[in-house]
Each structure stands twice: as structure tokens, then as C-alpha cells.
Chains A and B, each alone.
Chain A
Amino acid sequence: MSTYPVSFQASESQTREPDMQPPTRRQFLKRFGTGLMVWAVLGPRLGAQESEAPRPATVRPRQTGDFNAFLHIDGNGHVTCFTGKIEMGQGIITSLPQMMAEDLDVSLDDVEIVMGDTELCPFDGGTFGSGSTRQFGLIFRAAAAEARGVLLGLAAASLQVPEAQLAVQQGVVVDSSDPSRKISYGQLTQGKKIERHLVVKPNPKKPELYKIVGKPLLRRDSRDKVTGKAHFSGDLRLPGMLYARVLRAPAHGATLKTVDTSAVKEIEGAILVQLPDLVAVLHEFPDVAEDALGKIHAEFNPSPSDLDDKTIYDHLQQVKGESRVAAHGGDLATGRAQAVKRHDQTYLNPYVAHAAMETHTALAHVEGSKATVWASTQTPFPAREEIARALGLPIQSVRVITPFVGGGFGGKSFNLQAVEAARLSKETGRPVQVMWTREEEFYNDTFRPAAVVNIQSGLDGAGRIAFWDYEVRFAGDRGAAQLYDIPHHRTSSIGGFQGPAGVHPFAVGAWRAPGSSTNAFAREGHIDQLASMAGVDPIEFRLSQLKDPRLIRVLKAAAEHWGWKPGKGPSGRGLGVACGSDAGSYVAGITEVEIDPKEGRIVVKRVLCAQEMGLVINPAGAKLQMEGCIMMGLGYALSEEIHFKNGAVKDTNFDSYALPRFSWLPKIETVLLEADDTPPQGGGEPAIILMGALLANALHDATGVRMLELPMTPSRVKAALATKA
């Protein structure tokens, strides 16, 4: 099979050119005419919180009745598994085959994975919400267990022994009473055509039988990524292709008034496409297309937005949104009456960019009534619908293929670049690549929404939290419900994750653990203040009011691995604590910081994170994700915020929008707690939720200064230190 989608096979190198003639379902069946196929259909995602899905439910694509093969075993015993999930760094290119190899009892080297191709892979809503392992993995493992069951049945008939007498080693079924009698998966499937549709959910293996799951494995895609061989969407080339550059408005909400494109023709080879809502210049070289774009003189009507990054919080406090109670208990009036010390506070979070190193990119080839689009996307199936709608084609006529994605973090769930490439290919009749510049990436990003959290609370005479009234405005309720044993409490979410139209001056969307970082910053910062008011060590205060045994366990583990010495804050030591739950996993962190009072800089010396995520498939990959969360999380905590005014995004590149750099690197320690009897939970997001509160609490512990607004930039810290002095 050609390997234009991300496909990994241990022994075979990838070819370069994307296939011009994508195989149809019939061709696919012809290719896999024999062997064992397990077909399965994914049900709708259950229990998703309001902020977890990257897009409103109304435009979520429908499950289509296309191709639903999950797993194929050929006459050589070679296993190919198919998933609509994509690889963007999170490591499922390794961990999903790892699960498959475990439940099939084959060598990992015999498992190939094909990802994110709408023609070959079963429907999938998208890769987000740390769901690949915890939700999709179950079905993947079920397909493998089903296949193993079928093969054991065939082997029992062939060897004429009861199934219970058979064992499987590396894809070979052996008669345990006479090990010389054996038959391989390849022999069992050779020349046969066996199809199974997954109806019941078979039982995957018990943890005590694991041979592959739980073993730390290095990434399978590293070799291609260190040699430049791995292909991202921008690395694909088709004969006759053009590179497009698209005219953008100077501000969101600004509309095109006049456009003079006459000078474009001075550039040899430049092709102009001018549609009512899309003006672009195309050329066989991307840098020349850029130059030609500069020849266009356009005037825009100004944006009607009067918001900027200073006024946004007053706006968010005032604007109306639907209220939803995410959690409640007891009676707030009773709790308020019991409180002897009140503490009310408001927490602010700005817009934050995804800023993946790969900008949004797509290569589209529209030929008559067929379209093939290679796109950097977290959502190939929704992208297919967006493209089909834009081209006026039935969705079956559009194929989206996902090469390696250069980082997503939620930002590649919308697919404007793929729609642009497809429309321009249709207009020009040639393959077209759209690779956004970094400036376009900032301009078109679906930012993490700016949000406000209001907390009212009080301590009773015994120093326990008497009541907790929590209101999150426009960040959604993911991670909002408080985790503590508080008798009288309420958690309200206003406006949901994105709010009604007009709340934000530009598009917002899911950003790694959407809503959860905002909520953890407010909750854990506030809890820390209550601990200080009660005069109790922050870990002891938390433990005394926690009831969830999984959370208690991670917090104790963090304290133990850190070597925590209790002390009430602010202790002057610069230590911070925070804990929380996200994507079904539990995390607790401890940090040590030093404050440079002259510059206002927070220097993070050490971060320890303990995580319980149920059964761990690949501990090496899980730790990599935790480290990534910690490092990426330094950014939203310390430096990242979008400046804007009247619809114009003022941060356009990394010169003003500061990402964490090597010099920020603290000593990072990660602790994974064993919980093999709990199904696997999410690993790509949980640790990042801690970073805002962790560093705010550490700053307070060092200086007594409490920051209520992120990011804690040097100028803000300096100002706060000066106010205190």
C-alpha cells in the first residue's frame, strides 16, 4: 500500500509521492481480498463535557456508512490496523499498535498502522480530548481480541484440540500439551476470506498476562523524523502544483472595500484567483506567490469590534451567557452563615495561541467531481465535510489524507486552510498547496478563550471551607467542579466554552485541556489562599478536605517523591502545590521557584508531577507527554497572551509572542502511579492544567504576592512586588 497517510511499518520504508489514484473501497477489498478482517463501528462519544469537543455539536459530522475495516491479518501473519486518529506528536503511532500487538499476541514489528485517511480508515470525530487511548483504544483492543478469538477457533479445528489447550506466542498458535504441534496466524488466514463485524465487546486480556502493554517503548516514528524523511503536509509534491498565498483582512470583522490586483500580472507566472470571499495569488514557487500578493492593493472597512486586551475582562464580566450549574451540594445560604472568614476573588485568563511549529497546511487536488486533500488536521472526517460543502460535492467524493501533523494542541480542529486549498485547486484546475505563514497562523488561530472566574468562599471556625460559590465565565465547565469535601457548594458555568456569537472578537477553540487550565488556575490558587488564611500547610490543608482516593494518592505521592517538609505559606521557600483531574486522570504537582525581584522574573527551578492515569500502555510515551505539558504550560503561566485591538491581532510572530525556550527548562521529574485495574485514561493533557496555579502559588510562597491574572509576566510581577512593598 502506498503510504501517503501516516503509516508505520517496521520493515518497509515510506515512499515519497502521494498516490494520485486513491484506492476505492472495492480496490481495497481487492487488495485485502483474503485474510482476516475485523470490522467495527465507533459509537458516539459519550459523556463529553461541554468544552471537550472542539466544535459545536450541530456541525459535528455524521457517522458515515463507509469503510469500517479496523484490522486485517494477511496470509503472512502481517497485521494492519486502521484508525481515523492522527499522529501529531502525542505518540499513538506507537501506543495503539502496542495495544494491538498485546491482544493479538503478535510481535510489535508485525503491526502496521494506517492513520487519518478518510478513504481507508473508520470514521472518527477527531483526535482531541486525550481520547485516543481511553475511548478509541478500547474498541481497538476489542477488535484485536475478536481476531485472536477467531484465530484460536480456526487453530483448534486445524490442530484438533480444544481451544483451552492452545497458547499463542508471537503470532503462532501452539498446542500446550505438545509444543511441536503449532500453526501460525499466517497459515490460518492464508487463502481464506474471513470477515467479522464486531457486535459484542470481547474481553481484552487481564493485566497480569501483559507482555507488551506497560513496557516503555521508544517512538516508532523517530528515525524518519531525525532524517527529514517524515512527511508533513507541506512536504508533499504533485506534478504541476501551485503554491497559494491568500489575501487577509487587517482585522477580524474588517470587510474588503476595494481591491486593485492589476500589478499581479507584472510577476511572471503568477495566477490570480478573485472570488467574492477569497482573493489569492498562486505561483510555482511559494516565495514568489508571496511577492505577488504584496502587489495587491486592498482597502478594508474597519472592524466594528471596540474590544482590546485591556477591556476584554470587563466585557466578559458583563456580557450575558446561558448559565449552567455543573455541580452543587448543601445549601449556600447556610454555608455563608457558617463562614467566619470570607475570601472572594476574581481570576483572569487571556487569549492564548496554539502556535504549533507547523503552520496550517494543505495540498489539494480537485479533478472534476473528485477531491483529494492532504491536510495538517486533527479532524480529517470533519475536514472532509467542510471541503465537500465548499466545493458542492457529496462527501463520498472527497478524500482527506493526514500525513504527520506538526503539533496540534486543539488548534488543528478547524480546517480553513484545507478548504482554501480545495477551492483554489478547483478554480485553477491544478494541485494547490496552502501553507499559512506564521502571521496567518496567529491571525487565523482559534485562540484559547479569554475567561473570568469569580469565586466566593469562606472558612468556618475550625478552619475548614464552609462554602464555595464558583462561577466560570466563558471557559466552560471542564475541570471546574471543585474536588474538595465542602458541605455547601455550587459551580456555575456561564456561556459554556465559547459563548454565544459576539462574545469574542475572533474565533476561539479548544486549547490543550480546554477550560481545565483556566479552572485549575482559579481553584488551586484560591485553595492555596484559604490554606494560608487557615494557617495550614498547603498539602495538609488539601489532604484534610479531599475525599477522592485517587486524588489523595497522587498528592501524597508527589509530596513523598519531592521530600516535602510542611510549612504554612508564605514560607519564603518559593514552593508551590497544585492538584487536579483531567481526561479521567489525576495529577498533583510541586514546584520550586526563585524570584528575580529586579526584573520581576519567575525562575522555575524544579517541577515534579505525579500522575495516575489508569493502566499505562506506554510509560515512556506517557512521561514524554507529562514533560511536554510541564514545558508548554510554563508559557501560558508566564508569558503567553494575545494582544489585540479593534479586531486586529497585534502578536503576529514569535518576536512578540514568547514561547518557552531552553533557558526556561526546570529540572522535571515525573512519577507514574500504577493503577492497572483502572482502564487507561487520558495522558496528553492532565499535567498542563497545573502549571498556572503551581507557579502562582510558588510566587506567593516566595514573596507573599498573589497574582490573579495570567500570564505572570515580569512587568506584572514587578508591579505587584512594588505595590506590596
Chain B
Amino acid sequence: MTPASMRCLSPIPMPDTVSFRLNKQPVRIKVAPDRTLLWVLRTDLGLTGTKYGCGIVQCGACTVLVDNKAVRSCSVDVKSVEGKDVTTIEGLATDGKLHPLQEAFVAHDALQCGFCTPGMIMTACDLLQRNPNPTREEVIAGMEGNLCRCGAHTRIVDAILSAASIMKGGKAS
């Protein structure tokens, strides 16, 4: 069997320095620049909220924001974020206050095992930035690339619509 899901490189390039902003803090790490962002985040940088689910851009569990756009961290090299802003699930709450999407996921029980949840929220974050006023159908289309095996889909859609309403200054639905 040929594993394809963990990106690998051969030979390993010599460590280099990569600098970027991670959850609003500048970071500068010594790392082989072609290593995968997901594993550098989880291992070198210790941010384990970003999950490994498939490694081939099929499940969305590893989604982070790079310059405010959703990126599958399993599919990009760490050097691709040089000089950019990276936001992971750990950086979404500000001053201890949950992001409206996080609040909405709690209020709607929009999760079960919770493993896909960080990727769901980061994808939804990107979706609402591009489209602050989505219809139900637009939310469903926007989340199509994210898998949830427990079947929390209907709650996730409700939570995203509710968060959208709150972010526009409306009331929770």
C-alpha cells in the first residue's frame, strides 16, 4: 500500500528560517521550508487544535486561515506562509471572548465528537467573511468540502446562519 496522506519529501532540505504571524503573534522558526504546514503547526509549534483527517484535501479537518482565507494546512508547505497571517482555531477567540461562530456552535450543539469542529469553524469563518449574509443553500455549498462523520450537519448549518445574523448585529436564531 502506498500511503499518500502525509506529504513527504526526499531528501529533507536543510533547516531554514520561516517567519510569519501566528494568531496575531510574530513567529520565527527554524524548519525545513518544505515541511507541511499542518505538521509544523501541530508538532513544532504545539498548536494541536488543527487536526489531521485525510491528508489529501478531502475532509477539511486541517483548515486554517492564511491572510484570512481558508487553506488546507495538509496541502501547503510552511514556506508558503512566509510573511503572512496565519490563524488557527486557538487564535479565534479574542481576549477570552469566543468568536460568534464558536458561541453559535456551543449554543446549537453543533458537534458530537468534536474532531472536525475546528476545521468546520475555520471554514465557516472564511465563508462569512466572503459572504456575511448567506442563504441556507450557500452555507451548505460553502461547507461541502468538510466532513463530519457523527452527522452534526443540520446543527452546523443552523449555527453558521445564527452566527451570521449575530455578526451583522442581529439576534441569535
Contact = CB atoms under 8 A, between A and B. Distances in A.
Given A249-B1, A287-B36, A439-B4, A628 B115 contact: no
A225 B117 contact: yes
Given A267-B12, A624-B112, 5 more contacts: A225-B117, A226-B121, A287-B35, A358-B115, A631-B153
A223 interface: yes
Given A268-B12, A357-B149, A653 B106 contact: no
A626 B71 CA distance: 32
B56 A655 contact: yes
A287 B6 CA distance: 6
Contacts of A284: 43
B61 interface: yes
Interface string B1-31: 1111111111110000000000000000000
Interface of B: 1-12, 35-36, 39, 42-44, 46-56, 58-59, 61, 88-90, 92-93, 98, 101-102, 105-107, 109, 111-118, 121, 139-141, 143-144, 146-157
A407 interface: yes
A405 B53 CA distance: 13
B124 to A, nearest CB: 11
A437 B113 contact: no
A654 B147 CA distance: 9
B12 to A, nearest CB: 6
A223 B102 CA distance: 8
A91 B151 CA distance: 13
A513 to B, nearest CB: 14
B1 A250 contact: yes
Interface in A188-239: 218-219, 221-232, 234-235, 237
Given A225-B114, A230-B114, A620-B109, A631 B53 contact: no
Given A231-B48, A267-B12, A294-B8, A659 B147 contact: yes
Interface of A: 88-91, 218-219, 221-232, 234-235, 237, 243, 245, 248-251, 266-268, 284-288, 290-291, 293-295, 355-359, 404-407, 409, 435, 437-440, 443, 620-621, 624, 627-632, 648-649, 652-655, 659-663, 665, 668
A653 B1 contact: no
Contacts of A230: 114
A665 B157 contact: yes
A225 B53 contact: no
Contacts of B52: 234, 359, 435
Given A285-B39, A287-B39, A632 B98 contact: no
Contacts of B155: 624, 627
Nearest to B141: A663
A316 to B, nearest CB: 25
A193 to B, nearest CB: 38
A228 B50 contact: yes
B137 to A, nearest CB: 9
A227 B93 contact: yes
Contacts of A286: 6, 39, 43
26 contacts: A219-B106, A223-B98, A223-B106, A226-B101, A227-B49, A227-B90, A227-B98, A228-B49, A232-B51, A251-B1, A267-B12, A268-B12, A285-B35, A285-B39, A287-B8, A290-B3, A357-B147, A357-B150, A631-B148, A632-B149, A632-B151, A653-B56, A662-B140, A663-B141, A665-B153, A668-B154
A229 B10 CA distance: 34
B88 to A, nearest CB: 7
A218 B152 CA distance: 14
A267 B32 CA distance: 13
A237 B11 contact: no
